[in-house]
Amino acid sequence: MQAYVVSPEDWNFFLDGLMKAGAVVGPCRRRDQPRFHHFDHLDHALDLTLDYVTTTMPPKKFFFPTQETLFSFTVNGPAEIDRVGETTPFTLIGVHPCDLEAIDALDSAYSYPPAEKRWAANRNRAVIIGVDCMPDEYCFCTTMGTSGSRKTCDLFLTPIDGAYLIEAHTLTGARLLEANPKGPVQARHVAEREHWRKEKIARTTASLAAPIANFADILERGGLTPIWEEVASRCYSCGSCNITCPTCFCFDVHDEFDLTLAAGARRRSWDSCQLLEFALVAGGHNFRAERWQRVKHRWHRKFLYLYRRLGRPYCTGCGRCSRACTADINIVDVSNQLISYSQNGGRNA
Ligand code: SF4
Ligand code: SF4
């Protein structure tokens, strides 16, 4: 791995070059709510805000749009299918370690046979530049082992004393830096990066009370219905927790016909397992009609089923679901409640 130091001037030169070369997406302040940030296409370099805590929505929306047309068709004469897909390359900049890890998790999920080709095509369009961050009270990336992730990024930035230490993690990243002014990394720069890492861990106060492997066993053993029911009594089944999650990947597909029934389109949109209709099937049966069953399903999906199948929890500790929940259902608190209940033999501590 090559590493350099880039001064603010070098960084501006680099960013300017990126924006001249093509589309750049990065974290910006929301114009309607300046306290919040979102990933958006950058029109001006000054809009980029790299020292943000989190974004309401994760960057996965650029690989897996919230709604999209898969193809359109006509049925006059032989059916014709026009596959719709974006092809423009872009640079996704300012991605935090937990979100890099989430993109990697979705790479695994969507490449599980049969592979999801649209995800792969969109991933191949992007160069990714990560940046390190400091947590708020909702982050628990340290527990989830994602706080130092560099997966999926081509370049990674760590803020150091008025500059950035920039690491090249791929050949693409190294080539991007080739023509850019930059300085050598000295021992004090490495020490500052290490200081940042330690400070981040020290400031991460939320954590799970058991290792993931043990938590998965606890969920598998069951006997937790009173906790599911208590959480469900507060949950609105609004789906915000899923919609803001960087690792949730469920979607719904439906066909729309025009009024002549001669043409139409197949569309897909993000879905949420917390919505009542999610497990409703033809004939009217709903496999998770009760709210507590949907709450339980969410935890099982994040920390048990996918952990067993793909070898990792489908939670990166980003805290978005807890921030977004208007019922104040906090994923760390509920998980620790479940752990404590199980360890106390089915009694609340
Ligand atoms: S965001 Fe909160 S209230 Fe809404 S479905 Fe998720 S846990 Fe329930
Ligand atoms: S479950 Fe919550 S904390 Fe975990 S990755 Fe999803 S939004 Fe982040």
Judgement on whether residues 151 and 235 belong to the same structural domain of the protein: no
Digit-coded pLDDT (tens) for 299-328: 999 999 999 999 999 999 999 999 999 999
Q: Which of 39-43, 176-180, 204-208 has the lowest mean pLDDT?
A: 176-180
Tell me the average pLDDT of the chain: 94
Output the pLDDT for position 33.
87
Judgement on whether residues 116 and 235 belong to the same structural domain of the protein: no
Is 92 a member of any domain? yes
Judgement on whether residues 149 and 236 belong to the same structural domain of the protein: no
Output the pLDDT for position 98.
98
Judgement on whether residues 15 and 148 belong to the same structural domain of the protein: yes
> With helix as H, strand as E and coil as C, how does the chain read?
CEEEEECHHHHHHHHHHHHHHCEEEEEEECCCCCCCEEEEECCCHHHCCCCCCCCCCCHHHHCCCCEEEEEEEECCCCCEEEECCCCCCEEEEEECHHHHHHHHHHHHHHHCCCCCHHHHHHHHCEEEEEECCCCCCCCCHHHHCCCCCCCCCCEEEEEECCEEEEEECCHHHHHHHHCCCCECCCHHHHHHHHHHHHHHHHHCCCCCCCCHHHHHHHHHHCCCHHHHHHHHHHCCCCCHHHHCCCCCCCEEEEEEECCCCCEEEEEEEECCCCCHHHHECCCCCECCCCHHHHHHHHHHHHHHHHHHHHCCCCCCCCCHHHHHCCCCCCHHHHHHHHHHHHHCCCCCC
Burial of 23 per CB tally in 10 Å (0-12, 13-18, 19+)? middle
Is 259 a member of any domain? no
Output the pLDDT for position 87.
83
- Can you give the pTM of this predicted structure? 0.95
Judgement on whether residues 187 and 221 belong to the same structural domain of the protein: no
Q: In the chain, what is the straight-line distance between the N-terminal and C-terminal CA atoms, in Å?
A: 48
Last residue of a domain, one of 173, 203, 233: 203
Average pLDDT over residues 160-188: 93
Is 51 a member of any domain? yes
**How confident is residue 161, by pLDDT bands cut at 50, 70 and 90?**
confident
Name the closest-CA residue to atom 2, ligand 1: 325
Expressed in angstroms and rounded, the spacing between residue 186 Cα and the centre of ligand 2 is: 36
Ligand lying closest to the C-alpha of residue 315: 2
Ligand lying closest to the C-alpha of residue 335: 2
Expressed in angstroms and rounded, the spacing between residue 15 Cα and the centre of ligand 2 is: 30
Using most ligand atoms within 8 A of CB, pick from 141, 243, 247 the residue to mutate for ligand 2: 247
Ligand lying closest to the C-alpha of residue 334: 1
Judgement on whether residues 184 and 227 belong to the same structural domain of the protein: no
Output the pLDDT for position 349.
61
Q: Residues with beta carbon inside 6 Å of ligand 1?
A: 235-241, 274, 324-325, 327, 329
Is 24 a member of any domain? yes
Average pLDDT over residues 193-208: 96
Pairing mode of beta strands 2-6, 163-168: antiparallel
Is 159 a member of any domain? yes
Output the pLDDT for position 72.
86
Digit-coded pLDDT (tens) for 34-89: 889 999 999 999 999 999 999 999 999 999 999 999 888 888 776 677 677 778 99
Range of the domain at 299: 212-250+272-343
Flag whether pLDDT at 346 surpasses 90: no
Average pLDDT over residues 319-346: 96
Judgement on whether residues 141 and 167 belong to the same structural domain of the protein: yes
Judgement on whether residues 39 and 97 belong to the same structural domain of the protein: yes
Judgement on whether residues 187 and 233 belong to the same structural domain of the protein: no
Q: Name the one residue in this structure whose structure tokens are 């994923």.
A: 331
Is 79 a member of any domain? no
Ligand lying closest to the C-alpha of residue 206: 2
Question: Which atom of ligand 1 lies nearest, measured to the CA of 321?
Answer: 1
Output the pLDDT for position 202.
97
Last residue of a domain, one of 185, 203, 221: 203
What's the rounded Cα separation, in Å, for the pair 153 and 155? 6
Is 77 a member of any domain? no
Last residue of a domain, one of 164, 183, 203: 203
Judgement on whether residues 108 and 187 belong to the same structural domain of the protein: yes
Is 258 a member of any domain? no
Question: Which atom of ligand 2 lies nearest, measured to the CA of 316?
Answer: 5
Output the pLDDT for position 79.
66
Digit-coded pLDDT (tens) for 255-303: 999 988 888 899 999 999 999 999 999 999 999 999 999 999 999 999 9
Flag whether pLDDT at 200 surpasses 90: yes
Judgement on whether residues 192 and 220 belong to the same structural domain of the protein: no
Judgement on whether residues 188 and 54 belong to the same structural domain of the protein: yes
Q: Residues with beta carbon inside 6 Å of ligand 2?
A: 244-247, 302, 315-321, 331
Name the nearest CA neighbour of 62 among 36, 38, 32, 35: 38
**Structural domains of the chain, count:** 2
Digit-coded pLDDT (tens) for 136-157: 999 999 999 999 999 999 999 9
